[in-house]
Structure 1
Amino acid sequence: MTSLIGVDLGGTKIAIARFDAKTLEVQFQKTLPTHAEQRLPKVYEDMRDLIRDCIQPDTTSIGVGVPGLVRHPEGILVRMPNIPGSENFPLLDTLKKDCQLPVCVENDASCFAYAESQLGAGKGASVFVGITMGTGVGGGIVIDGKLFRGAHGYAAEIGHMLLQPGMPPYDTADKRGDVEQFLSGTAMGKRCEAAGKPEDYLEGAVCAFMRPEIFREIAWMCVNICHSLDPEVIAFGGSAGRALKPHLKAIEKELGKWMLPGTPPPKLSTASLPNAATLGAALLSQQS
């Protein structure tokens, strides 16, 4: 009997779980605040200590999902916007040395997508795309059961696809016109506030009066993915993504308006696993 450890390092919390390597049953799980304001050295120490407490004699590998860009195969953090001091930090080598176990470092949305493709909403799909909609918007692509990272490891940065034409590209964080600016849970909350309806936004719920506009933008995001990758299934996770569950039929209808005539649309779904990010990190660690 062996075990795997999966870590989801977020901007506000660090979640860890230890899984039975065969059954994937959760043996242990814990969550701590990230304290991102104390910068990466402190965040790393907290995460490392949490992992050490979780390790058992039968633990064979550790997977860590991070909210930012990762340079592969070195496992170097290129940048995590919500955690200062993370630029070019050699997370894989540092954690491997400190814990004396094989380590995998991956984008957190890719961990989510991988778990859902193996055991959740995308199981059996030849091409699957997972989209996380929470504080930001992230993505992961799985093709024939394998995570697709692209030529440089930066594939599926769905949150940074441009969404609104005519907006100044990348001049400031608030004016780049990308998906994250419009469709993250944070952004949708601000949009409801600006419209004078802050009470209509709770845990990612979509304001009733803004639904047509938001559903159209989600359809635009999805149609660009469809025309590039032709996925069988697209699944939404994160607080805002899961809140879309009652509205999937409406989004599918809007998506149909923008699909290339004669092309089959993907199945739209919400995430089905409660711990996809930690589970995906643990599963990917087996490949380290």
Structure 2
Amino acid sequence: MKKNRLILGLDIGGTSINAGIMKDGELVDRKEIPTPSHAPQEVILSTIAEFISSYFSYDIDGIGIGIPGLVDSNRGIVYNLENIPAFTKVALKDYLEEKLNKPVFVNNDANCFALGEFKYGGASKHKHIVGITLGTGIGTGIITNGDLYPGYICGAGEWGGVPYCDSNFENYCSSKFFRILHHTTAKKLSHKAAEGDQEALALFGEYGKHIGNLIKYILFTYAPEAIVIGGSIRKAFPYFSQSMLETVKTFPYSAISDNLSIYTSSLEDSAIMGAAALVEEHRTPVENLAK
């Protein structure tokens, strides 16, 4: 096995496909292409394969992929992607390994975010962490005792669908809180909050309470040492952190909540780096790839 492996990581979303090479613990040659999300399955698969092939000037040892939705990580099968309708049951690993002759590992994108933060981010000193991505939806990745815990077909930590208030956590903790409930966006509201707009600050205060309640549910279930917040809405953290922390303080077991560390991600590409880490975790030499 090579001492210094070159690993390609991909983060596949409904809007874009992002990739980069992990080399000596650093992400290099970062690229992005649009996702043909409403194209037929074969077109999407071909696009992914061609994008990966654009990196073959590197002597790549393996490919790690993070993708939203349910994933059989052992077989590399992707199920029911909401933002990519043609992906109802896709053997992504088999398709890419046969076409590209490289080992491929697939996992949920939120799991890859958590793994990237654990390996390379501020939460690396902890053994039990939960990564939360706040964006179009919410995703959760879980690290227990230093190992990724995906659950059956990466279904662990799907908090977005958990009943909350009059609907579920996704409607109150993702961009839907701003877009659907208040007919604005977190980005627009952030600009107003930065100018001291009281209505914007009050809305972020309300949002922070919902995030705090989500964290309390997570504490009841997993009791992590640290929570890392990622996704585009994390940039508004200064405006919702106070109400979030005040809500977390109402957790009944202070021995857990008082020792909880909450970070915002300082990495722009945690999910790509975590996807690449999937290959490192398996330590599968390319010469052992089953033909």
The alignment's TM-score, normalised by the length of structure 1, stands at: 0.87
- Which residue is equivalent to 2:79? 78
Q: Give the whole-Å Cα distance in 1 for the aligned partners of 2:234 and 2:28.
A: 27
Q: Give the whole-Å Cα distance in 2 for the aligned partners of 1:202 and 1:45.
A: 40
- Which residue is equivalent to 1:235? 228
Whether the 8 Å CA contact 2:11–2:17 is kept in 1: the answer is: yes
Amino acid at match of 2:207: I
Cα deviations across residues 39-62 of structure 1 (Å, max 9, x unaligned)?
432222111101011124521000
Q: Give the whole-Å Cα distance in 2 for the aligned partners of 1:189 and 1:149.
A: 30
User: 1:204–1:77: structure 2 CA closer, same or farther, 3 Å change rule?
Assistant: farther
Q: Give the whole-Å Cα distance in 2 for the aligned partners of 1:64 and 1:99.
A: 14
Whether the 8 Å CA contact 2:161–2:170 is kept in 1: the answer is: yes
- Which residue is equivalent to 2:131? 130
Equivalent of 2:189 in 200, 213, 225 = 200
- Which residue is equivalent to 2:102? 101
Equivalent of 2:5 in 2, 12, 31 = 2
Cα deviations across residues 131-168 of structure 1 (Å, max 9, x unaligned)?
0011111010011221001245311112222222xx4x
Q: Give the whole-Å Cα distance in 1 for the aligned partners of 2:138 and 2:257.
A: 25
User: 1:152–1:46: structure 2 CA closer, same or farther, 3 Å change rule?
Assistant: closer
Structure 1 residue 246: Cα displacement: 5.0
SS at 1:28's partner residue?
strand
Q: Give the whole-Å Cα distance in 2 for the aligned partners of 1:238 and 1:268.
A: 15
Once the two structures are superposed, the pairs formed by residues 1-288 of structure 1 within 5 Å of their partners are 1-20=4-23, 23-56=24-57, 58-164=59-165, 167=166, 177-193=167-183, 199-200=188-189, 207-265=200-258, 266-288=260-282
**Which sections of structure 2, spanning at least 5 residues, go unmatched?**
283-291
Whether the 8 Å CA contact 1:39–1:83 is kept in 2: the answer is: no
- Which residue is equivalent to 1:171? none
SS at 2:204's partner residue?
helix
RMSD: 2.5
Cα deviations across residues 152-191 of structure 1 (Å, max 9, x unaligned)?
5311112222222xx4xxxxxxxxx111112112432333
Structure 1 residue 72: Cα displacement: 3.0
User: 1:8–1:255: structure 2 CA closer, same or farther, 3 Å change rule?
Assistant: same
SS at 1:257's partner residue?
coil
Percent of residue pairs identical: 27
Q: Give the whole-Å Cα distance in 2 for the aligned partners of 1:18 and 1:239.
A: 23
Q: Tell me how many residue pairs correspond in the alignment.
A: 274
Q: Give the whole-Å Cα distance in 1 for the aligned partners of 2:179 and 2:102.
A: 41
Amino acid at match of 2:273: L
Q: Give the whole-Å Cα distance in 2 for the aligned partners of 1:15 and 1:34.
A: 9
